[in-house]
Structure 1
Amino acid sequence: MAEIIEDFLVKRDKGYYCPYGDFYIDPLYPVNHAVVSHAHADHASPGHKHIYCTAATAAFMQVRYAKQALASYQCFEFKVDFHLNGVDLVFIPAGHILGSAQIFMTYKGVRYLYTGDYKLQADPTCEPIEMVEADVLITETTFANPEVKHPNPETEILKLDVASNIMLGCYSLGKAQRLTALLNTYLPEKEVLVHHSMLAFHKIYDRYGNFPLRYELYNRKQMKGPEQNKVYLIPPLTFNSYRRAKNVLRVFASGWARLQASNDISLYLSDHVDWEDILVFIEQVKPRAIWTLHGDGRQLHQYLADSLEIRDIIEQTYSPDFC
């Protein structure tokens, strides 16, 4: 059995670095080679010389980072091998948002799986997660808490079956499109209006996704009409600025309890794995070791300490120019 390289992937100031392949995963600052798991801004940043990602991720990044040269993007289909300096890489669907990928890396006979953000719940707007076995699982721990259990999305969306217009706060990429699909499916009489900042992302879902979304661009007259069946999707900053909005119910879609405070209806909808799903995922991946990141992994460490080698990813203080 090949030996695991403990510093195969390490945390540096610019992001997660693989010194054996000389590339970063989800770097925050410009680097030569950036492998990007998905297009949320805390994982996908501009300024890199070479970006390796899925086509949908590239499309989202081009909307956000219009000045990034098109030639920088090298797009790969899921489950198609590519290589960086001796490391073999494959994108595996992560189920987080459209185009989101787990990054499966093989080096000297050892398989390393970086999850990025991922979810197991069904979501017709993105590619469903796929499970692969790996020697080392490098997993996010956003909701790695035994007390966290994400509710059923259908049950949650049916809370919006009320005779009122709704102002629904949500993240513009991923969450907004998933909400549109849930509303279209379970509350088809609701008219979905989207904030102008979300429109480009909805259109990319129309182009790359397999679920037809029904929505319209918001205009002020629609929300002021007599019908009480409208849901207006708006980004967080706009939601927070509309504190005094009248004649609407205020709702914010999130897995975090703190973001439900002071709203008229709670709507727990997360695009990450909860505690039970992390354990299911680990059982399927069958790792020899687990490295945790993106959250507090202490409770997961305690739970698995007697059965697996588990720790936080190694941190290195090292910041050469444009490495």
Structure 2
Amino acid sequence: MILDDFVVFDERGLYCKYGNFYLDPVQPVQNAVISHAHADHAVAGNAVVYCTAATAAFMQLRYAKNAGRVFNIMPYSDSVTLNGVLLTFIPAGHMLGSAQILMQYNNSSYLYTGDYKLQADATCEPIEWVNADVLITESTFADPAVTHPDPVAEIRKLNDIKLNIMLGAYGLGKSQRLSRLISEHAPQKTVLVHHRITPLNAVYEKLGYSPGNYQPYNRKLMKNQLEYVYIVPPFTFDSYYRATGVKRLFASGWKNLQVNMQDTLFISDHPDWHDILEAVKRVQPTQIWTLHGDGKHLKDHFAGNIFVKILG
């Protein structure tokens, strides 16, 4: 029997009282099950953390001694039982080390997706599918009007830009994916990376995932128009809003983060509407619970067929 209160939100995040753990808590907790290392899912200061090896490495790089008191490293497909709830980590395809969490309790199964992506990405493990009674899915772009374009086609747009490019992107996950895509599909470009990104790239390389060809940024290089692409995190990108001699682009699935109408770069690491429908098809749930977005479109779409609950 599906338990309606299997997971609920409180001030510290999404809580499973049956297993006494939080999924991606927003404040430090005793038992934290972390889906991936982005800062809005992986906070510092938890007592006991369950996550993949890559997620632990990124958290320890970012938070050092405050990353967490005890790390329990979960290989994909391995399981652990917390107070009667069996947890299994399944690749989510969002970024290196990202995981969906399959939770089994009293003959019912609940799949927490975390953030996930169906598009191919050579810098992380591809998404895998399991069946579950309840699909607890992110709904960031759960809107029939949202369709993400082919990322390769988006990257190939850069071939037509002969100016140097300042490319804004989130430092972890997106930057490495962009660097690899540029190396493969705009190989005449020279990728330069911000000093905040190079340590993250080193973790990727250590774990066997190449972010492609790149160099550490050198200010002198950008004085020459040699088709450089300088990948920078958002705070640096925003501070150079008056930069001259470069084309400014920000890589995102959000339209409001595109900085000019002439040259856009829509590359998202989240599922669009059709991807979420594909996830439902693959997981075959009897219920869908939505997170991190607006679930009303899914509720309307599946009305009379699959029960949809909007958690938050």
TM-score after normalising by structure 1? 0.94
> Which residue of the partner structure matches residue 10 of structure 2?
12
> Which residue of the partner structure matches residue 156 of structure 2?
158
Task: Give 1:188 shift.
Answer: 1.2
Q: Aligned partners of 2:245, 2:27: CA distance in 1, in Å?
A: 43
1:13-68 deviations in Å (ceiling 9; x for gaps): 10100000000000011110000000001100011100100000001111111132
Structure 1's 209 and 273: CA in aligned 2 closer, same or farther, altered over 3 A? farther
1:155-174 deviations in Å (ceiling 9; x for gaps): 10011112111000000000
Task: Give 1:219 shift.
Answer: 1.1
Task: Give 1:211 shift.
Answer: 3.5
Moved over 2 A (4+): 209-213, 261-264
Q: Aligned partners of 1:138, 1:214: CA distance in 2, in Å?
A: 37
SS in 2 for 1:278: helix
> Which residue of the partner structure matches residue 40 of structure 2?
42
**Structure 2 stretches lacking a partner, 5+ long:** none
Structure 1's 299 and 212: CA in aligned 2 closer, same or farther, altered over 3 A? closer
Contact 2:288 2:307 in 1 (8 A): yes
Q: Aligned partners of 2:146, 2:67: CA distance in 1, in Å?
A: 41
| Corresponding residue pairs, total | 311
Within a 5 Å distance, the mapping from 1:1-323 to structure 2 comes to 3-68=1-66, 71-161=69-159, 162-211=161-210, 213-225=212-224, 227-262=225-260, 265-313=263-311
SS in 2 for 1:250: strand
Partner amino acid, structure 1, of 2:184: T
SS in 2 for 1:197: coil
Q: Aligned partners of 1:214, 1:163: CA distance in 2, in Å?
A: 19
SS in 2 for 1:295: coil
Q: Aligned partners of 1:295, 1:9: CA distance in 2, in Å?
A: 17
Q: Aligned partners of 2:187, 2:276: CA distance in 1, in Å?
A: 32
Tell me: higher relative CO, structure 1 or 2? Use CA pairs within 8 A at least 6 residues apart: 1
Task: Give 1:71 shift.
Answer: 4.7
Contact 1:251 1:264 in 2 (8 A): no
Partner amino acid, structure 2, of 1:48: N
Contact 1:141 1:292 in 2 (8 A): yes
Contact 1:249 1:264 in 2 (8 A): no
Task: Give 1:264 shift.
Answer: 5.1
Work out the percentage of aligned pairs sharing the same amino acid: 54
Task: Give 1:70 shift.
Answer: 6.2
1:175-217 deviations in Å (ceiling 9; x for gaps): 0000001001001121110001111111111111433521111
**Structure 1 stretches lacking a partner, 5+ long:** 316-323
Structure 1's 292 and 43: CA in aligned 2 closer, same or farther, altered over 3 A? same
Task: Give 1:228 shift.
Answer: 2.1
> Which residue of the partner structure matches residue 320 of structure 1?
none
Q: Aligned partners of 1:238, 1:75: CA distance in 2, in Å?
A: 33
